[in-house]
Amino acid sequence: MSHDPLSPLVESMLKELGEDPGRDGLVRTPKRVAQAMRFFTEGYQADPVEILNDALFDVTYDEMVIVKDIEFYSLCEHHMLPFFGRIHVAYVPNGKVVGLSKIPRLVGMFSRRLQVQERLTTEIAETLEQVLEPRGVAVVGEAIHLCMMMRGVEQQSASAVTSSMRGAFKSDSKTRSEFMDLIRHQRPSFA
């Protein structure tokens, strides 16, 4: 791999913080941080529509499809500190379904960008709505933000919950309630 232009920026930051980038423990830090940041933000290199279009199927199934407890991590765009948690996704098909593994891939792609939790939740819902044209889409995100824990308000136990409800999930309280009840149940062990 050629020299990453992020490396000298990390070296400059270390100097500005009062560190010696030439000392034993930091010599390779600029390169490692550059590689980590490229990995943490690789979602910019993917197309969300392509992820879903690879696995679309015509079906007559019209009941709710839920993929819950999708673990994710991301970097907040305000401080570039991690936030992480779980996302729950549901949709009511309207003639098309997507392979179940594509939903966690979509979550992973959007979470590997500089984000705010609210936009992450909305982007997932918008993409599913655009590609599947379902009767409804629901996305709920639950996360812990290190920027709230390590700085600012320094709240160690606070978590954030965001949602995006569209179509039947927004207009029909029974559909919305069914989804919310189903994602509240504990994860099965299957063991």
Which residue numbers are catalytic? 76-79, 117, 145, 147
**Helix segments in the chain, DSSP class H:** 6-16, 29-40, 48-53, 102-111, 117-132, 146-150, 168-171, 173-184
Q: What is the CA radius of gyration of the chain?
A: 20
Q: How far is CA 38 from CA 7, 73, 117, 129, in A?
A: 11, 14, 20, 29
CA distance 107 to 89: 9
Report the chain's terminal Cα–Cα distance, integer Å.
43
Burial 60-74 (b: 16+ CB within 10 A, else e): eeeebbbbbebebeb
- 52, 107 in Cβ contact below 8 A? no
Q: How many CB atoms lie within 10 A of CB 164?
A: 23
